[in-house]
């Protein structure tokens, strides 16, 4: 039985979404996937942690982060990209990302980041 907060994944690449969905479900996490930032913004369900691609069709990951801040949606965000640059990393982290990772993802590292993000988020809610 799946338990715990929902991990939301935003990526316009269906293969990436399916891969992350399968991996996270295999470790008993609840997962919800979205093909666009706009689709995620419209989602009103629970979010324990968001994993988003930086380079999306339509609204990109930077813009998604800004909209979430404006809406007061403060769940942890893990940004992933195949095109990492120091400037992109700095900007993403400055906009409040919990972590910035490069594709291809190391599944074990991603799992540790998610667990850390969920713990941090729970600690922030208690304060």
127 occurs within a structural domain: no
Structural domain range at position 80 = 3-122
29 occurs within a structural domain: yes
* CATH number of the domain within which 65 lies: 3.40.50.2300
Q: Give the gyration radius of the chain's Cα atoms.
A: 13
11 occurs within a structural domain: yes
The domain total for the chain is 1
Give me the tens of pLDDT residue by residue for the chain, a chain 127 residues long: 456 899 999 999 999 999 999 999 999 999 999 999 999 999 999 999 999 999 999 999 999 999 999 999 989 999 999 999 999 999 999 999 999 999 999 999 999 999 999 998 765 543 3
Q: What is the pTM of this model?
A: 0.92
How many separate helices (H) and strands (E) can be counted in the chain?
Answer: 5, 5
């Amino acid at each position: 039985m799946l338990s715990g907060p929902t991990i939301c994944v935003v990526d316009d690449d269906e293969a990436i979404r399916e891969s992350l969905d399968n991996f996270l479900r295999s470790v008993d996490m609840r997962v919800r996937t979205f093909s666009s930032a706009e689709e995620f913004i419209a989602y009103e369900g629970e979010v324990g942690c968001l994993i988003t691609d930086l380079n999306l069709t339509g609204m990109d990951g930077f813009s998604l982060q800004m909209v979430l801040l404006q809406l007061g949606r403060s769940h942890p965000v893990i940004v992933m990209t195949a095109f990492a640059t120091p400037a992109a990393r700095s900007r993403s982290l400055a906009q409040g990302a919990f972590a910035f990772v490069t594709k291809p993802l190391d599944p074990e590292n991603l799992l540790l980041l998610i667990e850390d993000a969920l713990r941090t988020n729970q600690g922030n809610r208690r304060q």
